[in-house]
Amino acid sequence: MASAARERLFGAKSALFREGEDVKSVFLIASGWVKTSQLSRSGKEVILRVDGRGEVIDGIGAGYLAVHAFTAETMDDCYLLTWDAKTYLSFVKRFPSLQINASRVLAERLHKLEARFRDLAAEPVKQRLARLLLSLYEQSVGATHDLHIALSCEELAQMTGTTLFTVSRLLSDWQEQEIICRERRTVVVENPAMLSAIAEGC
């Protein structure tokens, strides 16, 4: 399967595909971060998730959907392994373990969406933002030792269901406490233990 893949470098803010386009390729992130999103009826971007190294982008859709259900865009410079969708589907048919893994990934993503909906409905903004940053930090462990991801305050606000002002204020407070460090459009988690305590409401 690896021999059939192409390694490609995509610059920051490159669209891998857009919602509604034909499914032609499957992508696996070797390094970097990819944002997936959909458009609301009013045309507003709704961020579904942020994926890092080791995540497959729309490997499930390649087998069941003719068009992409969402848009995927790189957030920084990314190295990706790509397969032609038909080639990828032939591997899925030959190796049932790929289908089992795809089902596991789908279940994990559904669980995360359920948790995000629960948090939006019931948790304070401070905890929601801390949990989002902590989740992204945990994704980055193994690739780097810090969270260093290009999410703007506007995007963080959208993902946590709050205002730009609130996110900016919380990040400033946490930077003063040396929990995080802000660098333009990026956030570095410096004290994950403290961030975890905030996420749990301590």
Of the candidates 71, 67, 80, the one whose C-alpha atom is nearest the C-alpha of residue 35 is 71
CATH of the domain at 169: 1.10.10.10
Mean pLDDT, residues 1-16: 87
Q: Is the pLDDT of residue 63 over 70?
A: no
Clarify whether residues 192 and 145 are in a common domain. Answer: yes
% of the chain with per-residue pLDDT over 70: 91
Q: Name the pTM for this structure.
A: 0.79
Clarify whether residues 81 and 145 are in a common domain. Answer: no
Give me the chain's average pLDDT, please: 85
Between the CA of residue 116 and those of 51, 109, 120, 153, what are the distances in Å? 15, 10, 6, 18
Clarify whether residues 64 and 34 are in a common domain. Answer: yes
Distance, in Å, from the CA atom of 132 to the CA atom of 164, rounded to the nearest integer, reads 15
pLDDT digits (tens, 9 = 90+) for 85-142: 888 888 878 887 777 777 777 778 777 777 777 777 778 999 999 999 988 888 776 5
CATH of the domain at 31: 2.60.120.10
- Residue 29, pLDDT score: 93
Clarify whether residues 35 and 81 are in a common domain. Answer: yes
Burial of 187 (0-12, 13-18, 19+ CB in 10 A): buried
Q: Is the pLDDT of residue 19 over 90?
A: yes
Between the CA of residue 95 and those of 80, 89, 91, 120, what are the distances in Å? 22, 10, 6, 39
Clarify whether residues 158 and 101 are in a common domain. Answer: no
Clarify whether residues 17 and 90 are in a common domain. Answer: yes
- Residue 147, pLDDT score: 57
Clarify whether residues 107 and 150 are in a common domain. Answer: no
Of the candidates 62, 13, 72, 77, the one whose C-alpha atom is nearest the C-alpha of residue 37 is 72
Angle in degrees, CA 175, 179, 182, rounded to 5: 40
Mean pLDDT, residues 48-77: 82
What is the distance, to the nearest Å, from the Cα of residue 44 to the centroid of all Cα atoms in its chain? 18
- Residue 54, pLDDT score: 86
Lowest mean pLDDT among 5-19, 27-41, 104-118: 104-118
**What phi and psi, each to the nearest 5 degrees, are found at residue 155?**
-70, -40
Q: Is the pLDDT of residue 5 over 70?
A: yes
Clarify whether residues 128 and 109 are in a common domain. Answer: no
For the record, the structure tokens of 170 come out as 């919380």
Q: Which one of 85, 117, 149 terminates a domain?
A: 117
Query: Strands across the sheet with 56-57, in order?
Result: 6-10, 78-84, 25-31, 56-57
Q: Which one of 56, 82, 117 terminates a domain?
A: 117
| Structural domain count of the chain | 2
Mean pLDDT, residues 46-75: 82
Distance, in Å, from the CA atom of 174 to the CA atom of 196, rounded to the nearest integer, reads 12
User: Binning pLDDT at 50, 70 and 90, where does residue 60 land?
Assistant: low
Half-sphere exposure of 96 (CA within 13 A, CB side): 0
One-letter amino acid of 156? L
Lowest mean pLDDT among 1-5, 157-161, 167-171: 1-5
Clarify whether residues 26 and 69 are in a common domain. Answer: yes
Clarify whether residues 92 and 164 are in a common domain. Answer: no
Clarify whether residues 149 and 98 are in a common domain. Answer: no
Distance, in Å, from the CA atom of 180 to the CA atom of 199, rounded to the nearest integer, reads 14
Contact by Cβ (8 Å): 60, 51: no
Print the domain residue range for 9. 2-117
Clarify whether residues 109 and 128 are in a common domain. Answer: no
- Residue 145, pLDDT score: 47
Q: Which one of 70, 88, 117 terminates a domain?
A: 117
3-state class (DSSP) for residue 119:
helix
